[in-house]
Amino acid sequence: MKKIRIGQIGLGHNHGEAKMIGIRKFPELFEVVGYSEKDEEWIKKRGNCKGYEGLKRYDEDELIDMCDALLIETDIWELTETAMKCVKKGKHIHMDKPASGTIEEYKELLDKAKEKNLVVQLGYMYRYNPAIVKCVEMIKNGELGEIYGINAEMSVYHGEAYKKWLRNFRGGTMFILGSNLLDLIVYIMGKPNKVTSFIKRTGLDGIDVDDNNFAVLEYDKAICKINTSSVEVNGYGRRQFVVSGSKGTACIMPIENPCKMWVATKDMTNNIYSDVKREIEIDDNTKDGRYDDVLRDFYDYVCGKKVNPYTYEHDYAVQETLARITDGIVFNSKIKI
């Protein structure tokens, strides 16, 4: 089995160390070369984390040249620029999310990767959530019928430091959290015809940040809703993804840890005022490693054993729609968490 020589650029993304820990679980697939980080502040904060123990730190260009593929885990505002350096040198990339840069810069990255037949895998983790995978399978099989609505929520009660960090991004929680849900909605429904967003600031803890947000995505017959908040008590426990179709409804809540799912179909009862549903057994393959399947698939994409179902066109559509919701991909500052 051919090993892929891989390295990580950047320690600044909040999911970066977990990705490196995941990569190091599979020495039969990946030869980890090392990592690169140009910011000494991140080296002080995260350089001694478990995921990087025993790894050599390289200059960024040197690391790119030594690898077949790279994990792009920089501060969010540097993701697209850094990924483009790798793609120009013919390297496959796993790039964390959401993408940065202007829409034009992001499209240039994806177009260049497609031209060179390079893998671009975005780090949207819910793509691999077992309940989400089951739900998408049911939709494709026609078990839920024609989809006319999706209700998606991803909230949490953040501390003050995180909320201050969210001020970096126009749209705050909608940009950071809502993009995960938008990725799934666009995959299921395609690009919306119209987007209406409500970006609000509660001012709690005296922090002026976009922390209470809602977006409506309109299609010919369907309406999809995304709600994100940084101030919802037990928001984490109420994260949900609900798909409503002409034949049935699938509800995932909470989305993770523990993941629970139920389904209701028209043939289950004749009483419209009854609560009749069946729970779906979920083999939570993420409990031992959220990114294990992500990274195994990345290996298979690079080796040509699988084709990434999330295409270049899909990834662009997600980012373009996110820009419509947040009124542009804008970085207000560069505050580190």
Q: What is the C-alpha to C-alpha distance for residues 147 and 287, in angstroms, rounded to an integer?
A: 30
| 140 part of a folded domain | yes
| 320 part of a folded domain | no
Contact 110, 129 (CB under 8 A): no
Choose one of 279, 298, 317: the last residue of a domain. Answer: 279
Query: What is the model's pLDDT at position 307?
Result: 97
Q: What are phi and psi of 216, to 5 degrees?
A: -115, 130
Choose one of 279, 312, 331: the last residue of a domain. Answer: 279
Encode 87-111: b = buried (16+ Cβ within 10 Å), e = exposed.
beeebbbbbbbbbbbebeebbebbe
Around 118, how many Cα atoms within 13 Å sit in the side-chain half-sphere?
Answer: 25
Do 155 and 81 share a structural domain? no
Query: What is the model's pLDDT at position 333?
Result: 73
Do 152 and 96 share a structural domain? no
Closest by CA position to 290, among listed 126, 176, 156, 177: 126
**pLDDT tens string 50-76:** 999 999 999 999 999 999 999 999 999
> Domain span at residue 204?
130-279
Do 81 and 169 share a structural domain? no
Query: What is the model's pLDDT at position 335?
Result: 77
Q: What is the C-alpha to C-alpha distance for residues 75 and 85, in angstroms, rounded to an integer?
A: 15
CATH code: domain of residue 221: 3.30.360.10
Contact 233, 157 (CB under 8 A): yes
**pLDDT tens string 185-206:** 999 999 999 999 999 999 999 9
Contact 122, 219 (CB under 8 A): no
Do 167 and 233 share a structural domain? yes
Enter the pTM of the model: 0.96
Do 236 and 204 share a structural domain? yes
What are 154's strand-pairing partners? Answer: 228
Do 141 and 65 share a structural domain? no
CATH code: domain of residue 64: 3.40.50.720
Structural domains of the chain, count: 2
Q: Residue 24 corresponds to which tokens in the numbers above?
A: 């190091």
Residues of the chain under the 70 pLDDT cut: 285-288
Closest by CA position to 256, among listed 240, 245, 268: 240
Do 232 and 217 share a structural domain? yes
Do 62 and 157 share a structural domain? no
Choose one of 279, 300, 321: the last residue of a domain. Answer: 279
Query: What is the model's pLDDT at position 98?
Result: 97
Can you state the angle between helices 103-115 and 312-326, rounded to 10 degrees? Answer: 180
| 273 part of a folded domain | yes
Do 256 and 179 share a structural domain? yes
